[in-house]
Structure 1
């Protein structure tokens, strides 16, 4: 999809979180207007984003002059200054931006953002802390939680099912997880079917409840 078919996005706050979001959106083909109070950050991102401005985005008048009202999506990446974060969300809400994402540093901050007008609140530090804790389990290689006890994970094939086709290993019946696919070194990803043979060095992509996935990853051969 080309850039002119993707909606432009306004990103307020170009720190680690906001900057990462902005650069990723650009790589995906979006036009991005980045804004920050810091002249240093504005200069840093000038070559990476469609447009970058030095501005106080807690001010509705300033945002209106920037054309914020014309955006269908905005991201408020301000985290350290909670007041500025809340005021920026409030200003965007007052301008009628229909899809506002905002970073929160804790649950209380998140509730305030929601009541102020944020449609989606994210907790990047909390989520990353959870992710690191999960990955300290050496057999879990990657992990995505959906916040409702359900997750998708990439893990080393458990010893207990190595050498068996999926049908015989009965992962869903015995362990309450679903093997979605298999990846082997130097081979393409395989979508799992009942007769897929699991080899000892395979990497599996599985879905299920978080606790079930963790127990499955830790299985040893009898």
Structure 2
């Protein structure tokens, strides 16, 4: 789950990030950001969680994230990005968000567990809202169908996916199969067994067993992935 969400974060290399809430979601995201080369301060009111992650993060602090004076003293205002990963306490999550907006953090991400939570967070000042449970549920559902091997879906319904080459494309070049015209999907590249990844061009020949990296609306990718008609 952490990899899915860190892929969404448009952070520059070396950016500093404060992660508030070191439960399952927050700690996973924090660790992933560390592996990607970011400096991460973790904040939680639970001393046990802070102790658990103190050696894994750049620094971990036990503090009340809803207190703007405490957060200012910790230097949170100097961070480029903030992620509010507080569990199921909506009040603490929103009060922490208010603190971050008062500190004028320029890029704030909030984990929301209901649509109402997300809507309020956006009105208060969250720049991005993520729904881990809902998004992961949709992701798993797509993968269970067997049509997609992996995919990332963005807020506007646009997705990038890795799929098995549909029967409709077998033994044809992309120019001949006209995937974009027929399905509204772009084939970005192909991966063939024991061969290097290849960026797709009009003359790329698709063979049975090839894996395709495609982009487009999720619904259109699903349709394309399941296409069997020999055009």
After superposition, the CA RMSD in angstroms is 1.4
Measure how far apart 1:150 and its partner are: 2.0
Measure how far apart 1:83 and its partner are: 0.6
Measure how far apart 1:206 and its partner are: 0.9
* 1:35 equivalent among 29, 32, 43: 43
Structure 1 unmatched runs, 5+: none
Q: Secondary structure at the match of 2:213?
A: strand
Q: Secondary structure at the match of 1:63?
A: helix
* TM-score, length basis structure 2: 0.89
1:220 and 2:228 correspond: yes
Measure how far apart 1:79 and its partner are: 2.8
Alignment partners' CA distance in 2, 1:188 and 1:128: 30
Aligned to 2:204: 196
Aligned to 2:156: 148
Measure how far apart 1:132 and its partner are: 1.1
1:23 and 2:31 correspond: yes
Measure how far apart 1:189 and its partner are: 0.7
Matches within 5 A, 1:61-100: 61-100=69-108
Alpha-carbon deviations, 1:120-160, whole Å to 9, x = none? 11111111111111112202111222222322111001112
* TM-score, length basis structure 1: 0.93
Measure how far apart 1:184 and its partner are: 1.4
Alpha-carbon deviations, 1:81-114, whole Å to 9, x = none? 1111011111111122222111111111011112
Structure 2 unmatched runs, 5+: 1-12
Measure how far apart 1:221 and its partner are: 4.6
Q: In structure 2, do the counterparts of structure 1 residues 97 and 149 end up closer, same or farther at CA, with 3 Å as the change threshold?
A: closer
Aligned to 1:131: 139
Matches within 5 A, 1:170-189: 170-189=178-197
Residues 145-154 or 203-212, more deviating: 145-154
Alignment partners' CA distance in 1, 2:34 and 2:205: 41
Alignment partners' CA distance in 2, 1:220 and 1:163: 13
